[in-house]
Chains A and B, each alone.
Chain A
Amino acid sequence: MAEQQHKTTRKSEVSEEQVEPTEVDTAHKEKLDDDVDSILDEIDDVLEENAEEFVRSFVQKGGQ
């Protein structure tokens, strides 16, 4: 995940806060995963019912 580092970085002195990228990123990523999983339950409650019908009936006229 974090092997590919900073392809676009031109300055060598950047990102002191990323001294230990692998460790930090992994912990961060796991936290994110938990976080996103917990939001699915919340979103399930607000998603419109009958997804297929809802999506099919969303027809717009073109604009600019």
Chain B
Amino acid sequence: MTVHRIQGSEVEYGIAVQGQPQANPMVASTHVVNAYAAAHGLTRRARWDYEEESPLRDARGFDLSREVADPSQLTDEDMGLANIILTNGARLYVDHAHPEYSSPEVTSPLDVVRWEKAGELVMRRAAELAGQIPGVGPIVLYKNNIDNKGAAYGSHENYLMRRDVPFLTIVEQLTPFFVSRQIMCGAGRVGQGQDGGVHAFQISQRADYFEVEAGLETTLKRPIINTRDEPHADPKKYRRLHVIIGDANLSEVSIYLKHGTTALVLAMIEAGALPEPLELADPVHALHLVSHDPTLRTAVELADGTTITALDLQGHYLEQAQKFVETEGHDDPQTRDVLDRWESVLERLAADPMDLVRELDWVAKLALLQRYRDRDGLDWDHAKLHLVDLQYHDVRPERGLYHRLVASGRMERLLDEERIAEAVTEPPRDTRAYFRGRCLDRFAEHIAAASWDSVIFDLPGYDSLQRVPTMEPLKGTAEHVDGLFGRVETAVELFRAITGR
């Protein structure tokens, strides 16, 4: 029982060209990615390799035909949009009309925090660089999920799981957890309903955009459990659980708890350690109800007709996790820390949510909004409150309200800034991202393409491109390949040493 497993995150950023509301967001996003690539010696721009991608494969056992798929689901078609790999092993690209940073694969929730926050620094720098291109205009990025006018964009989590766990079990056990975990990891929102038509605060940015319980889509009819079956690893051994229901968090504690508690629930599902699942009468409705009540008092209906609060749903999973760790009789420091924080956060949320003002995004945002309401007598439909909501997510340190809270010591940090800054260029040492990142760092001019599960070399003296598969996420670590990188001078030497070809 541990929070350690292969995991990672993907965040699509909101984008605005200041003073040019009509600017094409795809063009602006492309500038963001390309400007970063050009400034960091990644001009060859190793493209993404789509060979192992299968966005239409459903974990329930069927493939959606390309003809009936919505065009937005065809994420494996190279649209000619910017798409690069960074030396830290991350992917920086344009997804639909947003710049996106996908973290490298890491092995713990704290490392997710580190490389996801590094992504914020990448995006901040990329926007600055793009804004310096003549004729482009100042570009501002927002680590949020909505425009409050009907559009939503994602922040996803990924967890590698054992293939032999029945997918239906995962759906049944995870649904009540996902409906309720927003009380820890919601990012807060002014406005209810997809278009924000109801003037009130809610806990989650994304909740109102979820319409079904399980499904393949990510851009329409969004499901609480996404069934995309695209493991980016040996499909006989692994599945990748692709979680689309999270909010984009600025708070380090929120990111940490989001990944940490989810990893624990997955560990219990894999071990068969959870009792019969608590079945919600209407999970989608419950998701919305929980989000709409920042007092956390609302109880949602279970299939047996009884009701339960989000706090008690989370308490149920916490209790199971504590029991399981006790029976197993062993744990590790980060697992212990996640369990302790989880318990502490739930206890304090039950007493007074405002006690979490230094730790959780939605509480920090709500506290600011309440002060503005009290001081200036503003109703929830006031533009200033919407501005506070939006600007909380601005990635610029001088403008972003989250960053203002951090700068004045008002948010709890888990990592110091140097550790995060290092992760902008350094890959995690304990996954295949290390091999990918080092290849880009050392031999960018000879890498034609790469993806989660391959690096493709374009080598002098070889007629065709040479693909090195990386199907095992725990191979290609610093331990495995540091010696190799120390010995070789050229990409050809590296390739020959690996393959013998």
Contacts and interface: CB of A to CB of B under 8 A. Distances in A.
Interface of A: 1-2, 4-10, 14-15, 21, 25, 28-29, 32, 35-37, 39-40, 42-43, 46-48, 51-52, 54-64
Contacts of B146: 60
Contacts, number: 144
Contacts of A43: 368, 388, 401, 404
B163 interface: no
A46 B72 CA distance: 37
A60 B219 contact: no
B68 interface: no
A63 B311 contact: no
A8 B314 contact: yes
A4 B351 contact: yes
A32 B383 contact: no
B133 to A, nearest CB: 21
A48 B384 CA distance: 9
Contacts of B152: 62-63
A20 to B, nearest CB: 13
11 contacts: A4-B350, A8-B318, A8-B346, A29-B352, A32-B357, A39-B371, A40-B368, A40-B372, A58-B148, A60-B25, A64-B153
A29 B370 CA distance: 14
A36 B369 CA distance: 10
Give the residue among A10, A36, A63 with the most B Cβ atoms within 10 A: A63
B480 interface: no
Interface in B327-355: 343, 346-347, 350-352, 354-355
B319 interface: yes
A59 B151 contact: yes
A64 B152 CA distance: 7
A60 B12 CA distance: 11
Contacts of B367: 32, 36
Interface stretch (B59-67, B80-88, B93-101, B453-461): B93-101
